Structure 1
């Protein structure tokens, strides 16, 4: 059976236009609508509408990497609060299940935040004519709206505050190879270079966003002849893992080493973690709103950037030499 991309190519229109026609939107001219429907019928394309409120499909896919990371909960809460008020339902899946569940006959759109999902997989969903909100990457496609954190600006502010506080020796604990991580690491390197502070390959540690990789990085740092003054982590979960391991082994934070994160998840506030705060509940709420606006024909696919700001707390006090 033909897909929405093939219909668009045959009709000489955009995927968005085909999607609007098949979803019975009124913002397409009669001649174009007739042409698209004729080609869809000719190619044997079936676009059944799932029964639901107002006879429309009301299910949205939310795809995460995994479900053990705390910051997902705030994002999901924000998405759910908005879309449920509009009579929509959420189907949560991981990257492995995305292709299976992203059927235009069953769901009406997707929100994706998953380092395990390849760009090609996201594009394949959009090619089906489903609007996609990406929270972790910027892709060029007429059916994809990126809503991404201003990672570079947030991390840059944090790094400059650390330098201004007098820190001279840094280590960085990376997340997985994502756009978020690349922007945060680039900001760190830029600020250090601009302030003539050296950073070497052995100052870089590889992690995977999880608390356990923070523990592993802390073990390795403790083996060094001289520990860095600051461990900058690409997210809060890894920072928490590092802090716990340091403290369990008699290394004081911040007296012996300062630790910073990124995200400002709830537990970070209780631990006094210096971090970059991302409004995750609002991030989810806005993503749900943007997707439903697109479905209603009032939204757009322009990139939307979400601001982040530094939360300076006790784990980054300049109290050690």
Structure 2
């Protein structure tokens, strides 16, 4: 920068402005500086040097439990990512996706991407209880914000009241008189297992969101005097459409059900597709409700719970940037709304 400033006949600060604060220079002055820099072979300030000066690297880390494709395949996660990307300050801040699969030996050892990743803070998204990644990021003592993740220590968090919202949608369904009920849940324990769930597995659930939603469904069943032991629960074992369809097939192939409570819209939409494949009409033969209100839910006429997924991402990113700037953290609980459409009719 010193050499460029001398050759261009400007101050070293002006060279810095040309790269970092172009609005402080006229277009002609900035163009002159950049032309001289190019002639001298100077490509701009060294990122490592800037990091040493500011103490920041200009990147946020988004932790996810699954592999990278999950972040782009799961509709709810893509909506969250959209909200994160809408934060204006992120125009000059990198977002680093940090996959933390439970089966990763390096994550379990407190090594790997969470230690090597050069970030200023972490967005901890839907990480199961007991995941070693939590201890690893806490040990780095960097700012963090939990999203849909248990937070016993009262750290900054953004989420919704999953149990309350799940109870509301199940209450609406059961108020129509349905008694033969099945539940489709994405994942209770991150061990890759799917299939019919017993009471012990529900109790051992480590996914905070799914555990809370299951508790809400159970509360609605108690209210409407539907014996919980009569409710068949099938776990997909993951968050992709193929596993959701397999779980729906297993549920519908067993004893007949009048209604399906799906713990996510992806599961609900898969259940509708499988029902149609079997010649069942929705809601005449089987009613279906979901959770999230992803864009595809409206097109399918799905009765569901609307949660502000985009707002959740936006607020979490904004909160983390504020904490990095030295402002205090807090917990943000967003509202939900029951959205009644056509997949939940009167009992026949």
The TM-score with structure 1 as length reference comes to 0.76
2:182 aligned residue (147, 152, 171):
171
2:284 aligned counterpart, secondary structure: coil
In 1: Cα distance, 2:52 partner to 2:83 partner: 22
Q: Would the aligned equivalents of 1:212 and 1:238 in 2 still touch at CA under 8 Å?
A: no
In 1: Cα distance, 2:176 partner to 2:184 partner: 20
In 2: Cα distance, 1:228 partner to 1:52 partner: 59
Shift of 1:102: 3.4
Equivalent residue, structure 2, for 1:183? 212
Equivalent residue, structure 2, for 1:73? 78
Q: Report how many aligned residue pairs link the two structures.
A: 270
Alignment of 1:87-98 (within 5 A): 87-96=92-101
Unaligned runs of at least 5 residues, structure 2: 1-46, 189-206
Name the Cα RMSD after superposition: 2.6
Equivalent residue, structure 2, for 1:154? 165
1:304 lines up with 2:316 in the alignment: no
In 2 relative to 1, CA 239–53 (structure 1 residues): closer, same or farther, beyond 3 Å? Answer: farther
1:111 aligned residue (120, 123, 147):
123
1:145 aligned residue (135, 142, 156):
156
> Could you list the runs of 4 or more consecutive aligned residues of structure 1 that deviate by over 6 angstroms after TM superposition?
none
Q: Would the aligned equivalents of 1:83 and 1:292 in 2 still touch at CA under 8 Å?
A: no
Larger C-alpha radius of gyration, 1 or 2?
2
Q: Would the aligned equivalents of 1:273 and 1:314 in 2 still touch at CA under 8 Å?
A: yes
1:286 lines up with 2:320 in the alignment: no
Unaligned runs of at least 5 residues, structure 1: 1-47
In 1: Cα distance, 2:87 partner to 2:49 partner: 21
In 1: Cα distance, 2:247 partner to 2:230 partner: 14
The TM-score with structure 2 as length reference comes to 0.70
In 1: Cα distance, 2:169 partner to 2:231 partner: 22
Shift of 1:166: 2.7
2:291 aligned residue (262, 278, 285):
262
Equivalent residue, structure 1, for 2:60? 60
1:314 lines up with 2:342 in the alignment: yes
In 2: Cα distance, 1:103 partner to 1:87 partner: 23
In 2: Cα distance, 1:244 partner to 1:53 partner: 54
In 1: Cα distance, 2:129 partner to 2:222 partner: 33
2:228 aligned counterpart, secondary structure: coil
Q: Would the aligned equivalents of 1:95 and 1:117 in 2 still touch at CA under 8 Å?
A: no
Shift of 1:86: 6.3
